[in-house]
Structure formats: structure tokens, C-alpha cells
Amino acid sequence: MGKNSKALSSYERSLEIRKIALPPNHPDLADSYNNIGVMYGNMGEHSKALSSHERSLEIKKIALPPNHPGLATSYEGIGWAYINMREYSKALACYEKVLGMYQTSLPPGHPDMVRTQNNIALLKKKL
């Protein structure tokens, strides 16, 4: 609806409330950073999006097991930011990590795995 700045403001307020109510490495904080990253990406502020997704990943690495699919969301956000910044080799590295996680946690042919394989193929074509 073209209200990215209002959504961003709401996500930022939510993050501030969560920072008060939750321990510093709670997964819900990671979700807030991810949502903020998505909004920055939608607004074309890709370096800010990257920073938010990286913060989300830092929290998830502490809060979740190493191959947890929840980590994949952060890596995808980081990869998407790199794509928008035209840093395709960095994006490819992220999506390859995502694929590895999905291969250990999802059944073959799962839509998330297929989407990731498609993204990898598109990135390899760009490179």
C-alpha cells in the first residue's frame, strides 16, 4: 500500500518494546530486525537492510542450533540485500548456505528448497 515508512516505524517501535521485555538474544528480537531489514529493502536502503539482516543472524546464531531453518531466513535477507547491491558472489554464498540448511531440514522438492535452487541458478547466470 506504499506505507513502508509507517510500517518501518511500527517495526522499530516493536523492537524497542521487545528490547525492554526480552533478553538480548531472544529470537523475537531477530524477527524484529528481519522485518526492519525487509522494510529498508523495500525502500531501497539496501545497506541498512543488510545491517538489520546481519543483526538478525547474529541473534539467531546464538539462539538456534547451527542448521536450524530459522537461520535461513536471515541468510536469505542478507543475500537479497547483496543482490540489490549487485554483490552477486556474496549473495551466492548466502544462498548456498541456505540450500545446505534446507537439505538437512526439509524434504526433497520442498518449495523453499526449489526457490533457493532457482535463486542460486539465477545468481550463477549473473556471474
pLDDT band at 1 (very low <50, low <70, confident <90, very high): low
Q: Tell me, what's the pLDDT at 68?
A: 86
Q: What is the pLDDT of residues 47-75, one digit of tens each?
A: 999 999 999 999 999 999 888 888 999 99
Packed helices 69-84 and 88-105: angle between N→C axes, nearest 10 degrees:
160
d(CA 96, CA 82) in angstroms, rounded, equals: 14
Determine the 3-state secondary structure of 109 from DSSP: coil
Asked whether 82 and 54 are in contact (CB, 8 A), the reply is no
Q: Does domain 4-126 have CATH number 3.30.980.10?
A: no
Domain extent listing, the chain: 4-126
Mean pLDDT of the chain: 94
Burial 48-78 (b: 16+ CB within 10 A, else e): bbbbbbebbbebbeebeeeebebbbbbbbbb
**pTM reported for the whole predicted model:** 0.91
Q: Residues of the chain with pLDDT > 70: what percent?
A: 98
